[in-house]
Chains A and B, each alone.
Chain A
Amino acid sequence: MSYEHIIYEKEGPIARIIMNHPEKHNPLGKPMMREIIKALEGAGEDREIRVVIIKGAGRSFSSGHDIPAIGMDIELGPEYKGKRPPAKLLIERDEWLKREFYQYVFNFAKPTIAQVHGYCIYGGNNFQLCCDITIAAENSYFKPKGDTIVTIASYLPADTWATGMGPRHLGVKMDGKIAEKWGVVNRAVPLEKLEEEVEKLAQVIAAMPEDSVNLNKKCLNAMMDFDGLEAAWRTTHVAHAMGTHQRVKSDEFNIFKMRAAEGASAAIHARQRKR
């Protein structure tokens, strides 16, 4: 199996999925997400594998969804260029993300560990929340929701569920230590210790009885469903699809217009200067 966007490693009972677009801080473009799922499928079927580590190459875990690509014709087809895409297509795209990516990771039968360093923002944070356990570098940078880019609903309600923080940390910034305090990650460690900590944890889980690990994970995921996760997931993914229909008043900053005119990078930087 060869991959373009990720690296898949196997060492005894431990598999590693490494997002591999370091030049852009590993954005979650659809091709990369497809490969992550393919790799997980392989790890799921591989009887030797007991635990999967997910991490990013280069300076970061992940910078979130691929902003230049979102909603553009490369995803929706050339006939929509310059036009507002139909709601059905927007919702389908979000359903794909919810069902085929985030929920696939969340419901993956074997335990997953996210090894987070650098940026872990927006979709990147959603991704780590869908993993069972997260060990983060102390100086990593978390931002749960996309209010810097566009103020849209979170994809994944899991961050609020995970922490019990409720909606009051919309768009709040956290380093690894604060993320640990709020229960967004399990532990923050110095960057130079990160790999060692994660590998140790993976060895511990790999040595556990496989059945009880499996049942415990299923049971805790079920707890989240009893707690309303599926319903919340449904409402937020539709809200997220709706987010692209926001209107922008004449005296407000229009990031979509600027992205169309000058590109995603210029638009994001311009938005950040407004803060």
Chain B
Amino acid sequence: MSFENIIYKKEGKIATISLNRPAKLNALNEPLLADFDEALNDAGEDKKVALLIIQGEGRAFCAGYDASGDEKTDPAFDWRNKPMMYDLYTRERRRQDRIENLARFPKPTIAKIQGYCLEAGCSIILACDFAIAAEDAQFGDPSVRMGMCTDLPLWYYVIGIKRAKELMLTGRTMDAAEAERIGLVTKTVPAGQIDEEVRNLAQTLMTSPSDALRNNREAFQAALEARGLSAGFRFAGDMRVFSVLQRPGSRPREFNFFDVRDKKGLKAAFEEMNAPFRKLGY
């Protein structure tokens, strides 16, 4: 199978999905996500595949959903045009189902992270069983700074309420050492050793029978769902739709990320968005 926006490989029992828009720090746009869905489905169905690795090409794992303007390519999502709630629900459910599908994937999953891992990048690694990070990795979800509600259900279960609240109310990023300390990643290693670390972990996992792995994985997922994970996904998705309908940045004197982006470009918009917080060390 060959794709335009990802590299999908199967070697022995290991399938690997590499996000492949390195010039855009592997930002997730709709074409990439369509490729991702197809590969994920194949890796799940293919009985010869025992384990899935998700990684990113280039210097970053994933910078999140492409903020350069999917609402421009599809006017249904431009909140300055008063989008229909119907369309926003449809997009949000598709996004959340994808993350939930990954969390419910029938085989062990390992995320390999270097550089930026932001917003939806974090949603992906939170849904994987293991996250191995290079020391240069940076994690966080700045959605709140853009005026958007965060995709936060898995954050809550993985790192706990206090930590999730601080991250989601400040939108700050953290380094790999902190991510390891709070349990967001399984292990942090020097960049030069990450391939070996992931390979060893994959080999170790595959010494267990596939039934045992599936059995354990289902049990963990069942426990999370018994604790309300699915309800959380639904509610958080609704809140994200709400925050888009609210038209972020539309309040008086509030920073409008999307206007600044359209006038000065994406990079400048991020710079301007982060400047007041960076000054305070956040």
Contact = CB atoms under 8 A, between A and B. Distances in A.
A13 to B, nearest CB: 12
26 contacts: A129-B162, A132-B165, A133-B165, A133-B166, A162-B161, A162-B162, A183-B159, A183-B162, A185-B162, A203-B280, A204-B277, A204-B280, A208-B170, A208-B171, A209-B147, A209-B248, A209-B251, A210-B251, A211-B251, A212-B146, A212-B148, A216-B149, A216-B168, A217-B165, A223-B235, A227-B156
A162 B164 CA distance: 10
Nearest to B158: A164
A135 to B, nearest CB: 9
A22 interface: no
Contacts of B249: 209
Contacts of B227: 226-228
B276 interface: yes
Q: How large is the interface on B (under 10, 10 to 19, 20 to 34, 35 or more residues)?
A: 35 or more
Interface stretch (B22-30, B191-199, B239-247): B239-247
B169 interface: yes
B182 interface: yes
A224 interface: yes
Q: Which 4 A-B pairs have the closest CB atoms?
A: A226-B228, A209-B147, A183-B160, A215-B149
Contacts of A163: 160
Contacts of B145: 208-209, 212
Q: For A158, A212, A215, which residue has the most chain B Cβ atoms within 10 angstroms?
A: A212
What's the dominant secondary structure at chain B's contact region? helix
A231 to B, nearest CB: 11
Residue among B149, B165, B168, B281 having the largest count of chain A Cβ atoms under 10 Å: B165
A207 interface: yes
B97 to A, nearest CB: 18
Contacts of B236: 219, 223
Contacts of A184: 162
B254 A133 contact: no
Contacts of B169: 111, 132-133, 205, 208, 213, 216-217
Nearest to A164: B160
B144 A209 contact: yes
A266 interface: no
A142 to B, nearest CB: 13
A220 B152 contact: yes
B100 to A, nearest CB: 14
Interface string B224-241: 000111011001100100
Task: Report the interface size class on chain A.
Answer: 35 or more
B163 interface: yes
B56 interface: no
B171 A215 contact: no
Nearest to B171: A208
A134 interface: yes
B61 to A, nearest CB: 23
B143 to A, nearest CB: 7
B152 A226 contact: no
B235 A226 contact: yes
A213 B156 CA distance: 16
Name the residue in A133, A185, A204, A210 with the highest tally of chain B Cβ atoms < 10 Å from its Cβ: A204
B153 interface: yes
A187 B181 CA distance: 12
A242 to B, nearest CB: 26
Interface string A112-152: 00000000000000000100111000000000000000000
B162 A212 contact: no
Of residues B145, B161, B282, which shows the largest number of chain A Cβ atoms within 10 Å of its Cβ?
Answer: B161
Contacts of A220: 152, 156, 161, 164-165, 168
Contacts of B246: 211
Contacts of A162: 160-162
Contacts of A104: none
Of the listed residues B166, B235, B281, the one surrounded by the most CB atoms of chain A closer than 10 A to its CB is: B166
A200 interface: yes
Contacts of A185: 162
A211 B160 contact: no
A109 B229 CA distance: 23
B150 interface: yes
A66 B2 CA distance: 69
B255 interface: yes
Given A183-B182, A185-B162, A207 B276 contact: yes
Nearest to A187: B166
A204 to B, nearest CB: 5
Given A203-B280, A211-B243, A226 B232 contact: yes
A158 B281 CA distance: 29
A101 interface: no
Q: Which of B143, B169, B170 has the most CB of A within 10 A?
A: B169
A117 B181 CA distance: 23
A164 B246 CA distance: 34
Interface string B78-99: 0000000000000000000000
A275 B235 CA distance: 47
A186 to B, nearest CB: 5
